[in-house]
Structure 1
Amino acid sequence: MSTAHTGVPTSPAEHALPVPVPSEEYERCPVTGLLRRLGDKWTLVLLSLLARRPYRFNELHRAVEGISQRMLTRTLRTLEADGLVEREVFPTVPPSVEYRLAPPGVSLMRSLSPLATWAVEHARRAG
């Protein structure tokens, strides 16, 4: 039967709510930016590692299974541009680079710790 006869939508598109177009204010919202950054596949993995101690690039590459050198470089550059990670170049031959959390990154990880605890506690209940 059609929608006209029953009043029941016949396609999933008819069930969907209208998707609002993000406003300029929404796009500038710091929470939106943070959630986008944290939603990135590699960001939390790298921040979690760097919360433990500083890492050299190749150490990070070995520690994160499945990340390409290109993606590691891009993610670290983005985190550095966001002020969450600091990069230090040592004058060796060849130059070596070490990454560590910047103070805002340390603060972010302190704030995320209760969320991680919540996730672990609730995962136990569900399993």
Structure 2
Amino acid sequence: MTGALDPDMFAGCADVDPPFRVGDKWTAKVLVCLRDGPRRFSELGVPLRPITPKVLTGTLRAMERDGFVRRTDHGGMPPRVEYALTDLGRTLLTPLAAACAWSREHLGELLAARDAASA
């Protein structure tokens, strides 16, 4: 039997919402889309075609609020807005790559466990 959990085990952690939740459907995908440089909203919609414009807008706003994405409005008609990763946003690419590698290696096991649980 293991010992009791320490009631102060999270005492050193900040009491704020995490930058993105495990399982967030779009943040990681937007990070990958912006990995190679700035993109316009319409460009992001190409690989992210299942996302609605409303959800993409919300995701980008949340990422901008958290300092991961910079929004640049170039003005003009029609309006031209680009999104780019900030230096802070770029720091997420390495752990994201590790999570993707883990997924490639273990996705079959994860799906099998889900199937077994739903049976």
Check whether TM > 0.5: yes
Counterpart amino acid of 2:91?
A: S
Which structure carries more helix by proportion? 1
Secondary structure in structure 1 of the residue aligned to 2:18: helix
Q: Which aligned segments of 4 or more residues in structure 1 are displaced greater than 3 angstroms?
A: 122-127
What does residue 34 of structure 1 align with?
19
**TM (normalized to structure 2)?**
0.70
- Which residues of structure 1 form unaligned runs of 5+? 1-24
Q: Counterparts of 1:98 and 1:34 in 2: how far apart (Å)?
A: 22
What does residue 94 of structure 2 align with?
110
What does residue 5 of structure 2 align with?
none
The counterpart of 1:74, out of the listed 51, 58, 67, is 58
**TM (normalized to structure 1)?**
0.66
What does residue 97 of structure 1 align with?
81
Q: CA RMSD in A?
A: 2.7
The structure with the larger Rg is: 1
Per-residue Cα deviation, 1:68-97 (whole angstroms, up to 9, x for no partner): 111111110000000001111113222200
Counterpart amino acid of 1:80?
A: E
Secondary structure in structure 1 of the residue aligned to 2:81: strand
- Check the 8 A contact 1:43/1:75 in 2, yes or no: yes
- Check the 8 A contact 2:28/2:96 in 1, yes or no: no
**Higher relative contact order at CA 8 Å, sep ≥6: structure 1 or structure 2?**
2
Counterpart amino acid of 1:60?
A: L
